[in-house]
Amino acid sequence: MHRLRIRIFLFAVLLLAAALGGVLVLLQRSAEQFGEEQARAQLAQMGAVLQTQFEQQRRGLQRQAALFADDLAREHRPLPGARSSEPLDALLQRLHEYSDAAVLAVIDGDARLLAQAPQETSLPALGQWAGLVGSAMVRDRVLFTPEGAWLLAAAAIPPQPLQPPRWLVLAAPLDGAWLQRLLNGAEIHASLLRGVTEREMTLASAGVALASRARKPIEARLPLAGVGDTLALRLQRHAPPSLADSRLLHWQMLAIALAALIGAAVGALWIGNSISRPLAAMVRYMRRVGDGDYAAPPPAERRGEVGALAREFAFMLSAMAQREASIRHLAYHDSLTGLPNRNRFNALIDDALMRGSDTRFAVLVMDIDRFRDINDTLGHLAGDRILKQAAFRLGTVCREQDELARLSGDEFAVLLGAVDPREINTLVNLYRKPFLDAFETEGISLDVSLTIGVALHPDHGQNAGALLQRAEIAMYLAKARHLPFMVYNPQLDRHSLLRLTLMAELRAAIERNELTLYVQPKLDLRGWRIIGVECLVRWVHPEHGFVPPDEFIPLAEQTGNIRHLTAWIIAAALDWSRRWHDAGYELKVAVNLSTVDLLDPAFPERVSSLLQALRLSAESLILEVTESAVMEDPERAIPVLRQIRDMGIGLSIDDYGTGYSSMAQLKRLPVDELKIDKSFVKDVVENPDDAVIVRSTIELGHNMDLVVVAEGVEDEKTLEWLSRFGCDMAQGYHLSRPMPAKDLVGWLENSPYLAASRESA
């Protein structure tokens, strides 16, 4: 090094210094440009991973809300003979143990808090949650509070009789701890922002601290999908250190400069060649890497400062390549089983679709039966071991042209390439075969089975989303029917577009008076006179035609439109009662009540207003309720029934014998009429068991001073049998099928039975 300084000093000090300066400037500029480009690329790739993880968390939270809502609907309801179920707080606390959310809450339609878990958690203002309810399509939102942001997922709890609409809300805080988990140790700084760039507000931050440096950190900003356009992540990291930041390099270059000054007189040409050659090779290498040629070999020079720089630079590139490969693998593979994840599986389906619209392939979605019981009983570690074993066994039977993936939780999927629909049964059994042998975990032998749903391309979908969705629908239908597998059938799809259309249009049909009132006559068996009718509703959709009541009435209950539907039926029934009264027929009209109406304290007053407006007596109206609806919450239903009875309106127990009422409970009900369900009446002549039930019910009703009505009378023999054993009234197809209300007068004039009139009454 001393001889080098002498030669540099003696030969062309200024010229050599200028040459060295030019090389350093070029080296510095290339290194900074390459480092910044790589840092930006790393931030972009990390951003894609974070977006994917956030989307998975958001969807997972929504799926948990839907699953937990179904669990609450199943578990929080009265048992036979009981007055209440397990406390809602206890159910929520139990679900909270398996939830990714910090808070679980149940709210009603007015955003009032009914229950929460954990109870000590301070929730945001419930008034801000009202936007989450009010429709069947509940979507995830982000709620902003002075303390920060919450990721919310809500699902409507399937309604039970006598229960008002309720919603389950899952809340997860979007705070620094959440960001830290999202980063998963990545060496970057992340901030959660709200608002546009000019007026943005930082909600939370996490990651490595950004020390004060002269150079501005590299930054990337990305929106969070699915939660609006005002929430974003800002990712930052320091720019890679430049050559000017290295103190060691400063001393080394100074030593080279001094050596060049000393040795310039002796060997300027030799020194120039010995220095410029490796530097030029290093510059060329860095430029090739900057152009994207990561496989380019580093310069062969292994001595001196240039060699050290080349080695360090090659090591840096290798580390960056490994990190990129790791990030890429995490983005497209499941960390537990190593299988492709949902994102990768979607890409595989897209690749199959690119081969042509007529390409035949199938998507299998497989779910492990009762996997939650394994987790609850043996713990999540045992559950993970079962998942690993399941992935291995499925891989052993996976054909070369098939692709196996783990979608989420205990759900796997297979892309069956080049499949013949006639081979589906064989292929499904191929993937079920590994589960015939018991699984071993924690020294316990477990029988594990699969339920499989199948969707075929192009029959059941033209894109990855549709095929996966319909395969999952088929799988859930198979579970509901206790079948090992099922191929998707659009007719069994409860989530079809038609169903969603009807849900949206039912309220409009009620408001536009597009429904039709039908009636079915009721015969008094003592005087053989028609004394009343049961009112029914029919919907003829302008586009879809006749919609059965069994389809749109449950939709009305789910969407909360059942109150409007009941109000329409009562108003229409009383309007026709007024017309029949003016025509000389004194007929009582019977209308069915829903559970929601029965629990509405304002319902009796609304009915009374309609009676007064049409100048009808309360005795002209009979309201029918099912025993199961009353018994679900008798403490709330019976006061409403008594208020209705005190007004003079008749009350009838419909479908008697199909619910779970006891004699003591029936005695408490302020009713006038008992209707025997048609399932007991239709075979009463031939079936001795049904005959005993019907005769006993008639005697029971008479002993309790109730009028007994038999439904489902379909022949003359049944009618005569009922008359012989003292039944008071009958209705059914033998007398008349339901008819439009406008046709009733014409039917009465041609009927073999007399009709009640004001004179005969």
pLDDT at 228: 54
What per-residue confidence (pLDDT) applies to 82? 40
Residues 459 and 357 in one domain: yes
> Do 429 and 548 share a structural domain?
no
CA distances from 585 to 436, 540, 564, 580 (A): 70, 28, 28, 5
The angle that helices 13-75 and 2-10 make with each other, rounded to 10 degrees, is 120
Percent of the chain whose predicted confidence (pLDDT) is above 70: 74
Indicate the range of 607-611, 624-628, 697-701, 733-737 predicted with least confidence.
624-628
Distances in Å between the Cα of 469 and the Cα atoms of 189, 356, 364, 500 are 37, 21, 11, 16
The last residue of one of the domains, among 462, 491, 520, is 491
Report the pLDDT averaged over residues 297-310: 64
Give yes or no: residues 444 and 531 share one domain. Answer: no
Q: Check residue 71 and give its pLDDT.
A: 84
Both tokens assigned to 278: 């490796």
Q: Between these two residues, 515 and 30, which has the higher pLDDT value?
A: 515
Is 487 inside any structural domain? yes
**Range in 169-183, 411-425, 546-560, 703-717 with the lowest mean pLDDT:** 546-560
Structure tokens, 14:
């200024």
558 and 456: one domain? no
CATH number at residue 424: 3.30.70.270
Please name the amino acid found at residue 46. M
Q: What is the pLDDT of residue 591?
A: 95
User: Do 506 and 629 sit in the same domain of this protein?
Assistant: yes
Give me the residue label for tokens 């709200």.
194
448 vs 412: CA distance, rounded Å: 14
Does residue 480 lie within any of the structural domains?
A: yes
DSSP 3-state assignment of 418? Answer: coil
What are the tens digits of pLDDT across the range 80-103? 544 445 677 888 888 888 888 888
Strand partners, 445: 440
Residue 183 in tokens: 């980063």
Domain limits at 579?
498-755
Question: Does residue 731 surpass a pLDDT of 60?
Answer: yes
Does one domain contain both 571 and 468?
Answer: no
Indicate left, alpha or beta for 467 from its phi (over 0: left) and psi (-120 to 50: alpha).
alpha
* pLDDT single digits (tens) 445-456: 888 899 999 999
The total domain count for the chain is 2
Whether 711 maps to a domain, the answer reads: yes
Average pLDDT, the chain: 80
Q: Within 13 Å of residue 44, how many CA atoms lie on the same side as its CB?
A: 6
Instruction: Please answer whether residues 147 and 618 qualify as being in contact, where contact means their C-beta atoms are separated by less than 8 angstroms.
Output: no
Q: Is residue 482 situated within a structural domain?
A: yes
State how far the Cα of 594 lies from the Cα of 557, in Å rounded to an integer: 8
Give the closest residue to 586 by CA, choosing from 595, 577, 594.
577
- Amino acid 387 reads L
Please name the residue that has the structure tokens 């079948």. Answer: 483
- Are 657 and 624 contained in the same domain? yes
pLDDT tens, position by position, 359-395:
789 999 999 988 887 887 788 888 899 999 999 999 9
Q: Which long-range contacts (CB under 8 A, 24 or more apart) does 287-290 make?
A: 287/30, 289/34, 289/317, 290/30, 290/33, 290/34, 290/37
DSSP designation for 476? H
> What is the pLDDT at residue 649?
94
**First-last CA distance in the chain:** 129
Residues 560 and 700 in one domain: yes
Distance separating alpha carbons of residues 666 and 11, to the nearest angstrom: 117
Token match 């304290």: residue?
601
Q: Vertex 69, ends 66 and 70: CA angle to 5°?
A: 90
Sequence-ordered strand ranges (E) for 316-464: 361-368, 403-408, 411-417, 439-441, 444-446, 450-457
Helical ranges in 97-240 per DSSP H: 176-183
CATH number of the CATH domain containing 583: 3.20.20.450
What is the C-alpha separation between 346 and 151, in angstroms, rounded? Answer: 26
End residue of a domain, out of 452, 471, 491: 491
Q: What is the pTM of this model?
A: 0.45
Which position has the higher pLDDT, 251 or 704? 704
Place of tokens 């022949």: 715
Q: Does residue 458 have a cis peptide bond before it, meaning omega lies within 30 degrees of 0?
A: yes
Between helix 88-96 and helix 13-75 the angle, nearest 10°, is: 150
- Phi first, then psi, for residue 133 (nearest 5°) are -120, 175
Last residue of a domain, one of 442, 459, 491: 491
Do 562 and 643 belong together in one domain?
yes
Q: Which residue has the higher pLDDT, 253 or 533?
A: 533
Residue 592 phi/psi, 5° resolution? -80, 140
Is 555 within the bounds of a domain? yes
Asked whether residue 727 falls in the same domain as residue 593, the answer is: yes
Query: How far, in Å, CA of 71 to CA of 199, rounded?
Result: 43
